[in-house]
Structure 1
Amino acid sequence: MPDPAMSAAIREAYASAPVGQVIWETLEIWHPSWTVPIRVVRDRVALDARIEATAARNPGEVVTFVPWAFDFVAPDLSRAAPPQARLEIDNVSREIGRELDAAIMAGDVTLVIWRTYLSGHQLDGPEHLPPVQMELKTVTQGPLRVTATIGFRDLLNAAFPALEYEAETFPGLVP
């Protein structure tokens, strides 16, 4: 069964691989302590593309994804454990590696947003709506490569309801 979040154009491109049709995979990595997100494209040249109107940063704007060699290994479908993907980025400077390590240690969630674009349609927006959004779980850094484990929010262990009823917020609860 096809993914309903995928556009008909990207489903056709995946199925038939037409000559001259390029599928760009992009990543946006964001941590609340950063002033700008890291945006990369899996290519050798930069990509100017429009992000979705519902994006948290630069909604509906055309942004630049810088070229970077990365490999995104999609999560396995298993009932035994929550799905996790692996992200490997080559030729990463030590500064970016330190930023990622600091983001993990800060405790706030680091988001990884995966978007795909088709050549000739990159100014229309991403082909998956909404884009796949995951959380950075672990980061290991080698001399020239950063390997990260990313996954989805842990909904099984999330508090329900998410709102906590405390005396400061709800004084009517105190007798």
Structure 2
Amino acid sequence: MATLSQALAEIYASNPQDDYVLNTLEIRHPTFIDKAGNPAPIRVVADHEPLQAKLEADAPLNAGDSVQFEAVAFNFKLPSMEEGQAPQLDVTLDGVSREVVSHLENAVGQTEQIEVTYRRFRAADPAAGPQDVEPLTLYASSAKATLTQVTTSATLTDIHNKAFPSRIYTTTDFPGLNR
């Protein structure tokens, strides 16, 4: 699971009246493009107003830019960290537009996976960027859409090909390893 920044940990611990956590999702797929042919990810915030927030410097799309997250009612269940089980994020988006459903219909017949990135922002300072030390990115394993609702489950489907430990110790980074 993503680790928290100090500012986000303080919000959870002290529950200040003037600041709170804004949960966002970014859904990406190569077929999600606008009329000009540019990538058009689906970005939503669980709030009653759209959110203008800055992305992290290494974001897959619009790195370091301020982007718009549309206000959409959504429910999600964060993955549990149980031994022997891949983390799974269950998401339900309510009141989705025809455009969102169209994007998902276009992605169904493709071999590329739908990526889902979960980020948390501080309501008092969304320009400071995501408050997760590393935003959580999972891959949609199933999706179902109706006229007004999208339900999806996302998992770490490529967990078996991840290096462990994830940091590679080389003599360039750690000269003391050289004998």
TM range (shorter): 0.7 to 0.9
Q: Where does 1:18-97 land on structure 2 (aligned, <5 Å)?
A: 18-35=16-33, 36-97=40-101
Deviation at 1:80, TM superposition (A): 4.3
Contact 2:31 2:106 in 1 (8 A): no
Whole-angstrom distance in 2 between the partners of 1:86 and 1:30: 16
Match of 2:13 in 1: 15
SS for the counterpart of 1:130 is: coil
SS for the counterpart of 2:140 is: strand
Whole-angstrom distance in 1 between the partners of 2:136 and 2:144: 22
Q: Which moved more, 1:79-88 or 1:39-48?
A: 79-88
Q: Look up the equivalent residue of 1:28 and give its one-letter code.
A: E
Query: Percent identical across equivalent pairs?
Result: 31
Whole-angstrom distance in 2 between the partners of 1:141 and 1:5: 31
TM-score relative to the length of structure 2: 0.80
Match of 1:164 in 2: none
Q: Which of 128, 132, 147 is matched with 1:128 structurally?
A: 132
Match of 1:144 in 2: 148
SS for the counterpart of 2:17 is: coil
Q: Deviations over 1:44-76 (max 9, x none)?
A: 111100000111211111111110001111112
Deviation at 1:4, TM superposition (A): 7.5
Whole-angstrom distance in 1 between the partners of 2:162 and 2:69: 36
TM-score relative to the length of structure 1: 0.81
What runs of 5+ residues in structure 2 fail to find an aligned partner? 34-39, 164-179
Contact 1:104 1:137 in 2 (8 A): no
Whole-angstrom distance in 2 between the partners of 1:32 and 1:118: 29
SS for the counterpart of 1:113 is: strand
Q: Which moved more, 1:137-146 or 1:41-50?
A: 137-146
Contact 1:104 1:110 in 2 (8 A): no
Deviation at 1:159, TM superposition (A): 9.4
Q: Pairwise CA RMSD of aligned residues? A: 2.0
Whole-angstrom distance in 2 between the partners of 1:83 and 1:60: 27
Q: Size of the alignment, in residue pairs?
A: 157
Q: Which of 117, 140, 151 is matched with 2:121 structurally?
A: 117
Whole-angstrom distance in 2 between the partners of 1:147 and 1:4: 22
